[in-house]
Amino acid sequence: MAAIFLLLALLLLSERSLSVPICEAEKYVSALGDGGMRNRNTRIALEAWNFCNEVGSEAPTMGSPRLADCADLSCPILAEDLDQRLGSKCEVYHWVNDTDNKLAAGDKFPVSGFTSYRDPDLFASEKERYLGSLCKVQDNEEEPWFFWMIMLKNGNFDKNSTLCPENGKKVGKIVTGRNFPCFGQGCMNQPLVYHNYSRLIADENGTMHLTGGFNGTYDLDGKGAGKTSFFSVSWKKNVQSGSWVFSNTLTTSTKYPWLMLYIRADAAEGFNGGYHYNGRGMMRKLPESPNFKVKLTLDVKLGGGPNSQFYLIDIGSCWKNNGHPCDGEVLTDVTRYSEMIINPATTSWCRPDNLVSCPPYHTSASGEIIHRNETSRFPYSAYHLYCSPGNAQHLERPYDICDPYSNPQAQELIQILPHREWSVHGYPEKQGDGWIGDSRSWELDVGALSSRLYFYQDPGSKPAKRVWTSINVGTEIYVSNRQETAEWTVSDFDVLVPEQKAISS
Ligand SMILES: *[C@@H]1O[C@H](CO)[C@@H](O)[C@H](O)[C@H]1NC(C)=O
Ligand SMILES: *[C@@H]1O[C@H](CO)[C@@H](O)[C@H](O)[C@H]1NC(C)=O
Ligand SMILES: *[C@@H]1O[C@H](CO)[C@@H](O)[C@H](O)[C@H]1NC(C)=O
Ligand SMILES: *[C@@H]1O[C@H](CO)[C@@H](O)[C@H](O)[C@H]1NC(C)=O
Ligand SMILES: *[C@@H]1O[C@H](CO)[C@@H](O)[C@H](O)[C@H]1NC(C)=O
Ligand SMILES: *[C@@H]1O[C@H](CO)[C@@H](O)[C@H](O)[C@H]1NC(C)=O
């Protein structure tokens, strides 16, 4: 009993010290290379993941599932400033060509400095770094940045395969009572991807812009229409605001009932949420709780059915249970995610009669700690679910362990719902806010909110620095028994951090 009290006291202390008030006078700057999506050039990559955020095996003729569209728009000065009809003289320069995008495991890279791994998982990570080297942007003296990352993930899991570790541990045979979708051998395949390289289009006044897209399907025998799975991401400029508008579609099928499609602002270099390799991304400064904000415009046109966990937004990071930052050692690294799900069909699994799905305690905006068993005060409806990392040693009962297979390492997940507890930070207040027909431009105080969330740490350990390496928006259409489609656009995406406190990635 004494041990539990001590643990609670330590947790109370550590949480309090995190809720430092924000100094409003501080100047915020964009942490992104393409802040607000205003760049005239494209820096966009696509990555596809299997159930445990790896490749497993490549889809036939597709190469390694890492692609990029990095195009510069170049127009004669005169055309831009004086006579816009001269826009026809504009040119597109592509930094990444089809040979690069088709590189497959074992292929030699066109330049030195990259290893041609035969292992498709290792190759994909190397290819991401190679594509990054082609797309890299370095303005003045500032840190380099690379691309927006479009992430596609197939939730099928073949328990007969040994492709995925268990809480980071290699296992010879998967023994679990958990059920996962899988239609049979090969269900964890990578998608077919088609790429419209960015090309010129003129707006009504003859000013030139770029537009392009990726689409595809997981059904290797399908054509991407009818009863097959489908995804599409295309980009064009909102000529009024100057922002890119990313239009997204995701359709599940009987064979692929669980799919995810996000646009991610990842750390420019280093690990990013859910991925244990050195990646390439857009955030040249890493946001740290409690001082950062996220801006974006989100227009949900089709929801994707009752199981579509639409995230406004998903933040991902990694730290060990002792509070140390992750180092790629998958047995002790723990991916930490927090997501607000805005689909109003999503219910609260965290309830007074189901404390197992609640975090041990809630921290109010004023810093007050409310234990989940205080049924008259705990805001159950502010939470969808909470689950604990599978490698935690001192969990408070009752607890649920997060799925041990769907990440390369153990994970912890805290999923929240629109609620007055969170709307003080600019988040949706009630179910339906920001949903279909309610397109909005959000300014989310993600830093303040994320500093209030419960994350597990070993008793007595120094609280982890909550530095976030991935900020994502999109949907996870969770196992659906019928074909579902989600459709949405994202624009004006930005991550703002205090000018001085910015930590280089
Ligand atoms: C594609 O670009 C690579 C270098 O980035 C170059 O080596 C290769 O020749 C190019 N391929 C084509 C078909 O242009
Ligand atoms: C896994 O193996 C079992 C037993 O051999 C078999 O019945 C089942 O169909 C297999 N599952 C897949 C996805 O291949
Ligand atoms: C085109 O030019 C007109 C007149 O200058 C202006 O009102 C309009 O906003 C412009 N449209 C775009 C897309 O820039
Ligand atoms: C490519 O562009 C054409 C014409 O706009 C469109 O029909 C098609 O869906 C696009 N494909 C992709 C992969 O974006
Ligand atoms: C996907 O893109 C391909 C290639 O551009 C195009 O032919 C096809 O129509 C697109 N599919 C859909 C469903 O938009
Ligand atoms: C609530 O949980 C805390 C921490 O486990 C415990 O100390 C307390 O006794 C519990 N209260 C009730 C009423 O069960």
Per-residue buried b or exposed e for 465-486, using 16+ beta carbons within 10 Å of the residue's own CB: ebbbbbbbbbbbbbebeebbbb
| Count of Cβ atoms closer than 10 Å to residue 109 Cβ | 17
CA atoms 62, 489, 493, 432: torsion sign:
negative
User: How far does the centroid of ligand 5 lie from the alpha carbon of residue 109, in Å?
Assistant: 29
pLDDT of amino acid 271: 83
Q: Tell me the residue ranges of DSSP E strands in 137-229.
A: 148-154, 192-202, 208-217
Ligand 1 site-directed mutation target among 97, 108, 112, most atoms within 8 Å of CB: 97
Q: Facing residues of 370 across strands?
A: 362
Mean pLDDT (the chain, rounded) = 91
Question: pLDDT tens across 462-477, in order?
Answer: 999 999 999 999 999 9
Residue 25 clears pLDDT 70, i.e. is over it: no
Ligand lying closest to the C-alpha of residue 84:
3
What distance in angstroms lies between residue 199's CA and the mean position of ligand 4's atoms? 11
Other Cβ atoms within 10 Å of 24 Cβ, number = 5
pLDDT of 274 reads 66
pLDDT tens per residue across span 77-117:
654 555 554 556 899 999 999 999 999 999 999 999 999 99
194 lines ligand 5 (CB under 6 A): yes
Atom of ligand 2 nearest to the CA of 158: 13
224 lines ligand 5 (CB under 6 A): yes
| Residue 93 beta carbon below 6 angstroms from any ligand 5 atom | no
**Ligand 2, pocket-test mutation among 158, 160, 179, most atoms within 8 A of CB:** 160
- 245 CA to centre of ligand 1 in angstroms: 29
Cβ atoms of residues 201 and 236 within 8 Å: yes
- In a mutational test of the pocket of ligand 3, which residue from 40, 205, 209, 239 has the highest number of ligand atoms less than 8 Å from its CB? 205
- DSSP secondary structure of 286-345: E-BTTS-EEEEEEEEEEE-STTEEEEEEEEEEEB-TTSPBP-S-TTT-EEEEEEEE--TT
Residue 193 CA to ligand 1 centre (angstroms): 20
Pick the residue whose CA is nearest to atom 1 on ligand 4: 196
| Run of H or E residues at 269 | strand 269-272
Confidence band for 235, pLDDT divided at 50, 70 and 90: very high
Distance CA 331, CA 146 (A): 29
Write out the two tokens for 255. Answer: 């064979």
CA of 214 to the centre of ligand 4 (A): 8
pLDDT of residue 136: 98
Ligand 3 atom 2: residue of nearest CA: 205
Entry pTM: 0.91
Maximal CA-CA distance, the chain: 78
Candidate from 196, 233, 236 with most ligand 4 atoms within 8 A of CB, to mutate: 196
| 213 C-beta closer than 6 A to ligand 4 | yes
pLDDT digits (tens, 9 = 90+) for 139-173: 877 899 999 999 999 999 999 998 888 888 888 88
Give the residue, 248 or 22, on which the prediction is more confident. Answer: 248
What are the backbone angles phi and psi of residue 87, rounded to the nearest 5°? -50, -25
Q: Please give the pLDDT value at position 167.
A: 85
- Tell me which DSSP letter residue 468 carries: -
pLDDT at 450: 98
Distance 74 CA to ligand 1 centre (A): 20
Contact 152, 164 (CB under 8 A): no
Q: Which helix (H) or strand (E) holds 122?
A: helix 120-135
Helix (H) / strand (E) containing 4: helix 2-18
Rounded distance between C-alpha atoms, residue 35 and residue 492, angstroms? 8
Q: What is the pLDDT of residues 47-85, one digit of tens each?
A: 999 999 999 999 999 999 999 999 999 988 654 555 554
Q: Which of 315, 345, 320 is nearest to 330 (CA)?
A: 320
What type of residue is 360? P
Task: Yes or no: say if 65 and 193 are a contact pair by the CB < 8 Å rule.
Answer: yes
196 ligand 5 Cβ < 6 A: yes
Region for 11 from its dihedrals, namely left if φ exceeds 0, alpha if ψ lies in -120 to 50, beta otherwise: alpha
Q: Which of these, 228, 313, 219, 217, lies nearest to 262 by C-alpha position?
A: 313
What integer pLDDT is reported at residue 4 of this predicted model? 40
CB 110 less than 6 A from any atom of ligand 1: yes
| Amino acid at the residue 88 | S
pLDDT attached to residue 226: 61
Which atom from ligand 3 is nearest to the alpha carbon of 204?
Answer: 13
Distance 179 CA to ligand 2 centre (A): 13
Q: Is the CB of 158 under 6 A from ligand 2?
A: yes
pLDDT score for 15? 40
> The tokens of 230 are what?
């489908």
Indicate which residue's Cα is closest to atom 12 of ligand 6.
373
135 C-alpha to center of ligand 1: Å?
A: 14
199 Cα: distance to centroid of ligand 3 (angstroms)? 22
State whether the beta carbon of 148 lies less than 6 angstroms from ligand 4.
no
Q: State whether the beta carbon of 238 lies less than 6 angstroms from ligand 4.
A: no
- The token pair at 483 is 């074909």
Q: Which residues line ligand 3 (CB under 6 A)?
A: 203-205, 239
Query: Which residue CA neighbors atom 10 of ligand 3 most closely?
Result: 205
With a 6 Å cutoff on the Cβ, whether 223 touches ligand 5 is: no
pLDDT value for 12? 39
Question: Residue 86, CB half-sphere, CA atoms under 13 Å: how many?
Answer: 10
| Cβ neighbourhood burial of 302 (10 Å; 0-12, 13-18, 19+) | middle
Q: Which helix (H) or strand (E) holds 9?
A: helix 2-18
Strand partners, 238: none
